[in-house]
Amino acid sequence: MCSAASEPSLPPTSVRVGVVGGGQLGQMMALAAHRLGVKLTCLDPGGLASPTGKVCGAAVTGGLADGAAIRKLAAEVDVLTVEIEHIDTASLAAIEAEGKVAVHPSPRTLATIQDKLLQKRHLSTVDGVSLGDFCDVPDAAALLAAGETWGYPLMLKARTLAYDGRGNAVVRSAAEAESAFSSLSRGGAVPLYAERWAEFVSELAVMVARARDGTVVTYPLTVTEQRDSMCHTVVAPAPVAASVSEQALAVARKAISSLWGAGIFGVELFHMKDGSVLLNEIAPRPHNSGHYTMDACVTEQHEMHLRCVAGLPLGDTSMKVVAAAMYNVIGSADGKLSTTLAAVDAALAMPCAALHWYGKAPPKPRRKMAHVNLVGGSRHEVAIALRKLEAIADAANG
């Protein structure tokens, strides 16, 4: 293993980081790595053709659950990290135990988070973190029992491999329970759990960075809006009462302090009708709700993640603008590039907008293609720009 100390010709930040996954989050990590002087290599089935590989120019080609491929990546780097949690944590744990290559966040954290039921069980033991009711659903009878207790609707969720709402099913009545269980579990093959329906007034999210020594810092709280269970817009800072904001930041800080290893984490929260804040879920990596930081904060989230995992000093989470928003450009339902590009064209013509295009081809329905950050000197100014962008994109999408 080579380290910065043994290579005096390299800048002090020249640590080699391997990222498991090659999507857009890895791509934005690669851009930050280049700025910092960190050498990034990714692991992805697409190799150098993946969104990350195209930018960092160094890749191992292989699957994210392929232990041999993860070992190949480990052989080339000083630190391993992830840009997605759906990976082989057992191989990462074995590499961590050998002690030659650091793994951040710890595989223990990744294994806890990648199974949403294990994640909930862990968080339910953490002082100061409130969760909605949840239970294991090994069969349709357990789902019916949950419905009896909580009433309907309730949310049935896949324990693993869930993202963008794929893996969630709303169960509206006892009559739907049998078919919902069998279709989401694919005949019992996919393990499920259930959550009581959360009557939220809004969804909140906050990025939390955790250094190798366990120091935890938070970014500003945001309000997120989901469409079809996918992140649609993010507004920062969240226009909520100070008491709500303090509660949300405290919950997020406590949750991340309870985990292991370094990195940035996205914490999704429900702001409930009664003013309480419940934790929905944690992502152990840069997160869509933190994309606004790329244009609005002193240290953006992907750079912060690299600083954390590489053991560099933490950056500055504060905003350098008064207000910001993020709009996700999603592949349109009609599959046409021109429809998807309506928001992109509009953003390019707006003075306060910054486009971040991921270079994925072709645009597929429900595929995240890009995001647009909007920044401004007042909440009002940013809200108007966001509404304008949404209106143009909605009109194009019919």
Nearest-10 Cα torsion for 124, 128, 132, 137: 0
C-alpha span between 340 and 395 (Å, rounded): 11
| Nearest CB to ligand ATP, comparing residues 76 and 281 | 281
Least gap, CB of 228 to Mg ion (angstroms):
13
Question: Which entry of Mg ion, ligand ATP, none binds 73, CB below 5 to 8 A by partner kind?
Answer: none
Query: Which residue, 76 or 152, is less far from ligand ATP as judged by CB?
Result: 152
266 makes contact, choosing from ligand ATP, Mg ion, none, with CB < 5 to 8 Å by partner type, with none
Q: Rounded to an integer, what distance in angstroms lies between the CA atom of residue 315 and that of residue 297?
A: 10
Q: Both tokens of residue 160?
A: 């693993």
Largest CA distance in the chain: 69
Binding mask 256-295 for Mg ion (x = CB under 5 A): ------------x------------x--------------
Residue 121 Cβ, how far from Mg ion at the closest point, in Å? 16
Q: Which does 155 bind (CB under 5 to 8 A by kind): ligand ATP, Mg ion, none?
A: ligand ATP
Q: Which is nearer to ligand ATP, 268 or 300 (CB)?
A: 268
Cβ closest to Mg ion, residue 77 vs residue 184: 184
* Closer residue to ligand ATP in complex, CB, 163/395: 163
CB of 264 to ligand ATP, least distance (A): 15
Instruction: Work out whether the CA dihedral 233, 237, 241, 246 comes out positive or negative.
Output: positive
* Minimum distance from residue 108 beta carbon to ligand ATP (Å): 20
Phi, psi of 375 (to 5 degrees): -130, 155
Q: Residue 220 CB, nearest distance to Mg ion (Å)?
A: 19
Provide the binding-site residues for ligand ATP, judged by CB under 6 A: 132, 155, 157, 162-168, 195, 197-198, 203, 226, 229, 268, 280-281
User: Tokens standing for 306?
Assistant: 């690299």
The phi and psi torsions of 181 (rounded to 5 degrees) equal -65, -45
Complex with ligand ATP: residue 73 or 369, whichever CB lies closer: 369
- Shortest distance, CB of residue 290 to ligand ATP, whole angstroms? 12
- Interaction partner, residue 176 (Mg ion, ligand ATP, none; CB < 5-8 Å by kind): none
The site for Mg ion, by CB under 5 A, has a size of 2
